[in-house]
A = this chain, B = another copy of it.
Amino acid sequence: MAKLDKAEVEAGLLALPGWSLEAGDDKWITRKYRFGAFLGAIAFVNEVARLSEAANHHPMIAIDYRMVTLRLTTWSAGGLTPLDLATAAEFDAAFERQQAQP
């Protein structure tokens, strides 16, 4: 998959509120998700794991109590590709589904 240039990444990020280029590093996009409880954060990470295993594209994941930080890059391309933007959108949809649960 072809690496995107910075302008292409920034255009793609317009459709991904909450995601941004990592400061000082154009190879990563990142987003933080906040939850009401630790186990909500863990449930989200399990869904992220399921989706990323299915796509064979895995984010770096940090769980800081009730906050989850995801970071995406495409190692094989040495930077960001459309796969990162598509996977980010999938994680956002999973977050929205979880937030919509009663």
Interface residues, chain A, with chain B CB atoms under 8 Å away = 38-39, 42, 45-46, 49, 52-53, 58, 60-65
Complex contact B64–A38 (CB within 8 A): no
Complex contact B58–A49 (CB within 8 A): no
Give the contacting residue for A62; candidates B42, B53, B58, B62; CB below 8 A: B62
Complex contact B42–A46 (CB within 8 A): yes
**CB-CB nearest in chain B for A62:** B62
Q: A39-B53, A61-B62, A63-B63 are in contact. List 10 more A-B contacts (CB 8 A).
A: A38-B52, A38-B58, A39-B49, A42-B45, A42-B46, A45-B63, A46-B46, A60-B65, A61-B63, A62-B63
Nearest first, the 3 A-B pairs at minimum CB distance are: A61-B63, A42-B49, A62-B62
